């Protein structure tokens, strides 16, 4: 019941916790929902860490985006979901609209991960994938960018000197 009240206060749906808001490159937590069954704080921290791995030049352009963690997806096979109006489809004449939403599904990530490091990598890839949709990339474009990114990672390793970007 307390989680439902916190969700309503933060503008979310009951039973669904808003994890982070991202605006102009700043990441903030409006509240924390303790209602999930599995260690939600640790998973939330991993999602936040993955979001921080998105280069600042992209994070600065994220506006009015809520990042949500849910336990399970509405259909099998989803690790994440972007819902909203992609940036290239917006106009200065657009009126007020609800935040775009990136949902990260905890259960599938945990089941897929071999260990914590692998879980962190999966989350980073999923967050990148959904952020790419925010910037207007369709599924085929996102998959192509992911393949380029995988080649870069193989070439440069996972250190901070590698080029980072959507493609």
pLDDT of residue 17: 53
Q: What is the CATH number of domain 2-156?
A: 3.30.2010.20
Pairing of strands 100-105, 65-70: parallel
Q: What is the pLDDT along the chain (167 residues), one digit of tens a residue?
A: 333 333 333 444 444 555 566 766 666 554 333 333 458 889 999 999 999 999 899 899 898 899 999 999 999 999 999 998 877 666 666 777 788 999 999 999 988 888 889 999 999 999 999 999 888 888 888 788 878 878 887 777 654 444 445 44
What 8-state DSSP symbol labels residue 98?
A: P
Distance of CA 15 to the CA centre of its chain: 19
pLDDT of residue 87: 75
Beta bridge partners of 82: 102
Q: Within 13 Å and on the Cβ side, how many CA atoms surround 113?
A: 21
% helix / strand / coil in the chain, to the nearest 5?
45, 15, 40
Distance of CA 6 to the CA centre of its chain: 21
69 exposure class (CB count in 10 Å sphere: 0-12, 13-18, 19+): buried
Q: pTM score > 0.75 for this model?
A: no
Token couple for 64: 């009015």
Q: Which of 66, 71, 158, 150 is CA-nearest to residue 110? A: 71
């Amino acid at each position: 019941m307390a989680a439902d009240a916190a969700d309503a206060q933060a503008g979310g749906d009951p039973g669904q916790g808003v994890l982070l808001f991202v605006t102009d490159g700043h990441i903030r937590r409006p509240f924390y929902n303790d209602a999930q069954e599995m260690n939600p704080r640790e998973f939330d921290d991993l999602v936040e860490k993955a979001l921080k791995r998105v280069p600042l030049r992209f994070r600065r352009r994220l506006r009015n985006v809520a990042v949500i963690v849910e336990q399970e997806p509405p259909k099998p096979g989803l690790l994440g979901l972007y819902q909203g109006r992609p940036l290239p489809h917006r106009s200065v004449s657009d009126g007020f609209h609800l935040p775009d939403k990136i949902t990260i599904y905890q259960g599938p990530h945990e089941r897929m991960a071999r260990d914590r490091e692998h879980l962190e990598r999966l989350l980073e890839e999923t967050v990148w994938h959904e952020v790419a949709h925010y910037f207007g990339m369709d599924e085929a474009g996102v998959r192509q960018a992911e393949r380029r990114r995988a080649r870069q990672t193989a070439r440069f390793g996972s250190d901070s000197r590698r080029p980072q970007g959507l493609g």
